[in-house]
Structure 1
């Protein structure tokens, strides 16, 4: 790797606040530039083949951490061309840090297991603006009226994602939506979200004034997935066949475990939020 690239990789690791051990994996990784170029080309032209090849390699989680850090560095040029601020660049790619920490928690090693999701970031199809991430997509549901607005199938909307981390306070959420309005000029401010945070049954396990429920109430929830176990995965950090095996370290875990043991469900929901419109 060229010296200048190496220095920027170092800056990248600092910018996304990657820990020392994970940073060393990236900085010390050895790969010929010709091999990197071949893998990047495969990623760009046939990502399924790319992932099959890489995940079939010993130590693939560390390799993916290295590769996505390089992909992110390569994406910086396009950020500059589009005149997107550095803070948005580093905030967006902080997902690499978040998912490397999840990998350590789940597998005992720094790397990446949630590799498919990070495609959106390096292709500049998703951006983190404040607390939330936004992704322009075509709405694929049926025509839906929200307040006085009609949301039509295939229209361009902004898909909202909630990364792990800081509290989801109303002020931070409002700030993110204001940033999105400025950043995505020309795109109607119609937000969709599919998440366990939008499951109405959370009212049974959360305090009425919880930040999660305040976020949920912004959305008109138009679809539920009762079979989803995303909430269990997020709350307990793992899935168990028997709810009795779940931990009870937090009040949320205790309430969720009690609900599940008594035949309740924790699914996920899909919702639409249009500022100024109420159902």
Structure 2
């Protein structure tokens, strides 16, 4: 795997590619960064953030780390499509960085380090991350134990959450993580039960929510507003109304209601 092939594989936009190709770093310096990343990632984060152009530096280093990670993918026999799909998150967050800060780079460096260390994989529409469950719980006759390994589900933005694609992702995860009991957990605004007062039961989000048993709700979380309106405001009247979801959510919030996040679990 080389830099050019990687950028093409994740469909990194040309202006962001130029940032990479304009970046020059001695190989010895790169290896020191890489060693620090794997040995002490928190020190690595702080070290990189000392740079005046740290977002571009994170982009450069993470792309090179991802290129280097291809070898481990090959050793594990993981398909190239999964490799490129997983690291397409770099393109997503690079574009978000442009929107938020006016420059191509990486701000979500803590999140993306999970991909680099092969702790998270995108399988179709959804991402999956093995993790340790933090409590005991019984769901539909199945007992989930504290410290049991489960699969944390993440929902990348940018595409519809169509039911068929969702089910195909779960089926892919069952095969990919065949050594792990298929217990899926998800913490998302899409699992907030109050969404039933904002969305139709036939919506993709509500169909996704119904797959899970909601075992906890954080009513104070503002993730829903951030995702729906791309910002969080103390005054809901400031929110845009360009979609039916935005219109309904805005009316719901202006009535004094809250949209929090839900914690769900699915056993299959």
Give the shorter-chain TM-score range.
over 0.9
SS in 2 for 1:134: strand
Residue in 2 that maps onto 1:24: 18
Residue in 1 that maps onto 2:114: 120
**TM-score with structure 2 setting the length:** 0.98
CA contact (8 A) 1:10 1:27 kept: no
- 1:193 partnered with 2:186: yes
Moved more, 46-55 or 120-129: 46-55
SS in 1 for 2:164: helix
The runs of at least 4 aligned residues of structure 1 exceeding 4 Å deviation read none
Shift of 1:20: 0.3
Residue in 2 that maps onto 1:206: 199
Q: Deviations over 1:31-78 (max 9, x none)?
A: 111111111111111111111111121111111111110010010000
**TM-score with structure 1 setting the length:** 0.94
Distance (Å, rounded) in 1 between the aligned partners of 2:21 and 2:226 = 32
Equivalences for 1:93-104 in 2 at 5 Å? 93-104=87-98
Of 80, 88, 97, the match for 2:82: 88
Distance (Å, rounded) in 2 between the aligned partners of 1:196 and 1:74 = 34
Distance (Å, rounded) in 2 between the aligned partners of 1:90 and 1:194 = 25
Q: Deviations over 1:151-193 (max 9, x none)?
A: 1110111110001121111100110011011111111000000
Distance (Å, rounded) in 2 between the aligned partners of 1:211 and 1:61 = 34
Shift of 1:24: 1.1
Of 229, 234, 237, the match for 1:236: 229
Of 113, 123, 130, the match for 1:129: 123
Distance (Å, rounded) in 2 between the aligned partners of 1:128 and 1:104 = 23
Structure 1 gap segments, 5+ residues each: none
Of 209, 214, 239, the match for 1:221: 214
SS in 2 for 1:273: strand
Distance (Å, rounded) in 2 between the aligned partners of 1:269 and 1:56 = 36
- 1:251 partnered with 2:235: no
Distance (Å, rounded) in 2 between the aligned partners of 1:238 and 1:59 = 25
Q: Deviations over 1:221-278 (max 9, x none)?
A: 0001111111111011111121111111211111111111110101001010112xxx
Residue in 2 that maps onto 1:34: 28
- 1:169 partnered with 2:166: no
